[in-house]
Each structure stands twice: as structure tokens, then as C-alpha cells.
Structure 1
Amino acid sequence: MAEFSPAEVTVAQIAMRAGVNETTIYRKWGSKDALYRDVLLTLSSEQLEMTDTGSLRGDLLQVVSGVATFLRTPAGYSLAYLGATGEDATTAALRDAFWADRFAKAQVIFDRAVERGEIADASVAELAYEALIGTMHFRILARRRPLADDIAERLVDLVLDGVLSASTESRTPG
């Protein structure tokens, strides 16, 4: 997967490298695409951990940096591409499960920030996460541009300025 694009990978190549018969792969996954998605989703969940750094900015930098690093790899790009373009029921189910997990983990980050008193309202978590991660996906998929080395810091600061402003406004009696 790291050596070839999804279109170039065949079940025969996968089976040969795994030391199994092609029928084993079809029996377990049903198709090359299902195997590919399963591997990429597993890989992404292993590499895209969300840990508590002690601050909202630190947590977001850690997450966004991890996503940027992953998206720079052939596997990360492939996952983003498959997630954005796959229309079959299997892809839709995997995409929904993947993003539900990501949004739940992002919500935890924002809930911790409320508990620490950094922000007043965590209801912006999903939109903020979409702005952070969606911007990188847009850049690599729609614009076909590489992610700059400082993309995580620039995006986090840009989004946090908006989150902190919105949080301050929600505290101000209107």
C-alpha cells in the first residue's frame, strides 16, 4: 500500500506478499476495496491517537500534526481519497464509523478544555474539528497541494482564535 496507488494494487499481489491464496482474501473481505479500507482504517486509528497534553491548543496541535503526518503518506492519502470518493454501502458504513469515532474523540478534547476553564462551551467541537481536518483534506484532494510543515500550528491558531472568540461571545449577555 505504501508502494502503489490503490488502483495499482491487485489481490494477487496482496495474497503473494501475505503468503496466502487469493481465495483467502476474498473469503475474509469479499473484495480488494473492502480489504484496503479495513487496513487503512486500522492504520489510521493506530496512528491518529488523541492524548491529553494539558491544554486545548496542545491537544489540537498533537491531533492535527498527527493527521498531517499521516496524510503525507501514501496510506493516509489513499484513506482520504477512498473516504471522499467511495460511494458503495461498505465505504459509506466505514466512513460513517470512522468520522463518528473521530468526532467523539474531538468532543472529549473540547470537553476537557471546558473542565480546565479554557473555553466556556464545547459545542463547537465538531465544527472546529471539521475546519481543522477538512482544510487539510481539501488541500490535498481538491487542490492537489502538499501540506506545509507548519500547517498544524497555523490551522490550530486560526481555528482557536475563532473558538475563543465564539466562547467569549457566549459568555457575554446579549
Structure 2
Amino acid sequence: MQLEFRLTASRPGGRTARTAEAVTAALTAELLEVGYAGTSIDRIARRAGVAKTTVYRRWGTVGQLVVDVFAGIAGQQVPVPDTGSLEGDLRELARSTITMLREPESRAVFDIVVGEAIHDPAARAALDTFFAARISNAAVMVERAVARGEAPAETDPAEVIRQVGSTWYARMYITGEPITLADADRAAAVTALATRAGLLT
């Protein structure tokens, strides 16, 4: 699964859109090259070929710029797998998510927004919107499982999707362990088992 990094402030066509695209590209390049601590509005503006006053006026800080990029990600639709079984669907979803989170650009943006969300309401809102959209989008997998008789009728789709993702987010932001496709497969198997047992209602 690939995420398209873009700014929510961009408009179709014109100078504003070109500026936003250049700033987004410069931001992601800077994050990969020097990290969050080394990234500055001045460096981004210089790399993007735009006036630093333009960037300062619209975003103010690197953190706000990253949050705006993340807000653009939150609205992107993600294909929902349909393998014919809940465990298969969860496995494909988990694998695509972990693959995305292992991409340096995606991981850099996620790490910053998670850190900023502790004290920044805009970052918290962007993160909440992102996860709400992902849960809503993937709920159909659980609804299909209920229709097939594979899960109890009272199963909570949101709880199933939260559960499958909890393993790798804990590794990323609590224990600091690497995440692998094996983690995706294990999370899918455990979540499917818990769902069938009626534990996620």
C-alpha cells in the first residue's frame, strides 16, 4: 500500500498547487536526509525553491507542515481485501499496512505526528481522523464475516480492526521493536480467533 503525500492546502492546478507539491517533496526529502531534528522551514523552502515567508505564513513550523501532510493522507481510500475469509482479509490488510509503515517516508511522517499529537490538538485530530477513516473503510470485512456465519452477529467491526493493529503499533511506539510480515500474519490469526470466539463484541 502506497501513501500519496500531499498538503491539504493544495488546490487543483495553478501556482498554489505547484508550491504545495514542491514543499511536500522538499519536506519528505529533508526528513529522510537529516531527520526531524535537522529539518527546518528555511531548508524546506530552499529545497522547494519557494520563499521561506510563504512557508512560514502558511504553516509556521515543521510540525504543523507534517500534520497538514498527514491530514492529506487521512482522506485517501485504501482498497479492502476480499479473500473469502476473515483471517485472510485481516492478513492482507495487516500485511499492506506493515509494508507501508516500513517505508521510510511513511514511517517518518507517522512518527512525527504521533509525537506531536501528545501536545498538539491539530496533530491529535489528524491522527484521530486517519484511524477513524481506516476503521470505517475496513469494517466491511467484518460485516462480510458475520454474513458468512464466520463471526457472531454482535461482533464490533471497529474493535476487530483496532485489535489487529494493536500488535505492531505497540512494537513501533512502546517497545521499539522492528515490525515484520510475520507480525501481520500472527495478528491476523489471533484477531480472527478472538472474533470467532465472540470476544470482540
| TM-score in terms of structure 1 length | 0.80
Aligned length: 168
Say whether residues 1:84 and 2:119 are aligned partners: no
Q: Secondary structure at the match of 1:3?
A: helix
Say whether residues 1:10 and 2:40 are aligned partners: yes
Q: Which residue of 2 aligns with 1:93?
A: 125
One-letter identity of the residue aligned with 2:51: N
Say whether residues 1:29 and 2:59 are aligned partners: yes
Query: Unaligned stretches of 5+ in structure 2?
Result: 1-27
Counterpart of 1:61 (choices 91, 100, 107) is: 91
Give the percent of matched residue pairs that are identical in Structure 1 and Structure 2.
26
For the Cα contact (< 8 Å) 2:89–2:141, is it kept in 1?
yes
Q: Which residue of 2 aligns with 1:106?
A: 138
Q: Which residue of 1 aligns with 2:181?
A: 149
Q: Which residue of 1 aligns with 2:19?
A: none
Q: Which residue of 1 aligns with 2:14?
A: none
Q: Deviations over 1:115-169 (max 9, x none)?
A: 34332336332222222212101102211111123221111011111111117x9
One-letter identity of the residue aligned with 1:153: D
- Alpha-carbon distance between aligned partners in 1 of 2:154 and 2:64, rounded to the nearest angstrom: 35
- Alpha-carbon distance between aligned partners in 2 of 1:162 and 1:40, rounded to the nearest angstrom: 32
One-letter identity of the residue aligned with 1:142: I
Q: Deviations over 1:78-114 (max 9, x none)?
A: 3443343322111121122112112211322212222
Q: Which residue of 2 aligns with 1:126?
A: 158
Displacement of 1:41 in angstroms is 4.3
Say whether residues 1:137 and 2:169 are aligned partners: yes
Counterpart of 1:73 (choices 93, 103, 116) is: 103
For the Cα contact (< 8 Å) 1:41–1:98, is it kept in 2?
yes
One-letter identity of the residue aligned with 1:145: E
- Alpha-carbon distance between aligned partners in 2 of 1:72 and 1:40, rounded to the nearest angstrom: 16
| TM-score in terms of structure 2 length | 0.71
- Alpha-carbon distance between aligned partners in 1 of 2:37 and 2:75, rounded to the nearest angstrom: 23
One-letter identity of the residue aligned with 1:65: R
Displacement of 1:64 in angstroms is 0.9
Change (3 A) 1:43 1:106: same
Change (3 A) 1:4 1:50: farther
Change (3 A) 1:77 1:52: closer
For the Cα contact (< 8 Å) 1:44–1:70, is it kept in 2?
no
For the Cα contact (< 8 Å) 1:60–1:156, is it kept in 2?
yes
